[in-house]
Amino acid sequence: MAAQEFHFRHFLATIGTSNLAMGLHTVLYPWLVVGVLELSPSRLGLAQLAVLLPNLLFILPGGVISDRRHRGSWLSLLYLLYSLPIAILIGAALSGELTFSLLLMFGMVFGSISAFVQPARESLLGYASQDLMHQAVAKVVMVQFIAQGIGFVIAGQLETIGLTALLIVQMLMFALSSILIKRSHPQRVIETDIADPQVEKVEPKRETLQELRAGFALFLTDKALLHLLLIVTATGFLAFGVYLVGMPLLAREAYQGGAGLYAILQVTFTMGIVLANFVVSRQKHAFKRPGRLMIISFLGRGGLLAAVALMPNFWILFPVIFAWGAFSGMSMTLGRTILHNQVPHSHRSRAASVYQLCLFAGAPLGAWACGVAIEQVGLAQTFTAIAGLTLVVSVIATMSPLWALKATNN
């Protein structure tokens, strides 16, 4: 079988364009709920649940399907499919019929497509050099969040530019992503038939359930990887939940701001992620104890959430949000580096889907719980409670095999 062709620069360009579109989504979608429709925190939690819940249903089969298909062509199609829910939202905006029910439907369709995109896109990183995997992951995360930051800034101009124009930009970015991802991983003839030299040889059909079990078995047989999944699940429930719901409500309720302030908070958080990954990308050698650093970064986020709970003035708030982003960026890179270096390439889509499942299994529940808690006990109290739980999980994690994990390469 011929070696798979992979162009990392085109892949990075795809990460940039697709995440600029995702940056628009990250600001616009929750702000349509709390800023335009002016609905309650629990409704915002429900809206974020609608986006994240499809991951629980589709991300595992999405990983299996990705391992069976040519990833460049498959991702190209998926990026084009994002146009469908965006077109529905444009129609609603133009007709003045934007409702919470429509936003829920949009979120479910958008989230379903993302559930198939994530494992396929993540598995393409496996074609990067294993010795420099930490640098490749760091570069991807840097481009991802720089692009998202640009998307945040553009989305912050909602009142000036208008919803329809922003949605059209988002649609165009996904279309460009469809073109670029195909160039990053072009389809090649692997083995030809005499009658038709352009047709790839069909591989034997494989059992989906067997392949799913094989993906889970990778984690069940490696205790460090299993504990990686546990801390990723905690990240989804605690950190991701408060980020999705707490951040827009922080802008609206604690500081009486609009979409512009929310976008600035997002950009500040993103700058922290980018700086952390710039530092990682300059590292010539892999981290010797990546699991330990990941747990420490999780611990740091707990302390920073406690600081946010005090509702400090802007001079303190923005540096705290920046540091929160830096710890989050470090954790993202370390988790994905551990995954790629510990798992065989043939199983990476499935392993990535299990990894993402654990992240997004916690996130929808965390988002919903955060929204309900804010509505019942208040914003500051909810941030304080989540900070406390984060610190408890961090202390427990220091006794896990992940704490002692040493860097290894396949």
C-alpha–C-alpha distance, residues 198 and 193, integer Å? 8
Q: What is the pTM of this model?
A: 0.73
Given a contact cutoff of 8 angstroms between Cβ atoms, the answer to whether 135 and 281 are in contact is yes
C-alpha–C-alpha distance, residues 42 and 375, integer Å? 7
Structure-token match 């990026």, residue found: 79
| Helices vs. strands in the chain: H and E counts, helices first | 18, 0
Per-residue pLDDT of the chain (410 residues; tens, 9 = 90+): 344 567 788 889 999 999 999 999 998 999 899 888 888 888 998 998 898 888 777 877 776 776 677 778 889 999 999 999 999 999 998 998 899 999 999 999 999 999 888 878 877 776 665 556 667 777 887 888 889 989 989 998 888 889 999 999 999 999 999 999 988 877 764 444 434 444 444 444 455 566 666 666 767 777 777 888 888 888 888 888 888 888 888 988 889 888 889 889 989 998 998 888 888 777 766 677 888 888 999 899 999 999 999 999 999 999 999 999 999 988 888 887 787 777 766 666 667 777 777 877 788 888 889 989 999 999 999 999 999 999 999 999 888 888 887 766 54
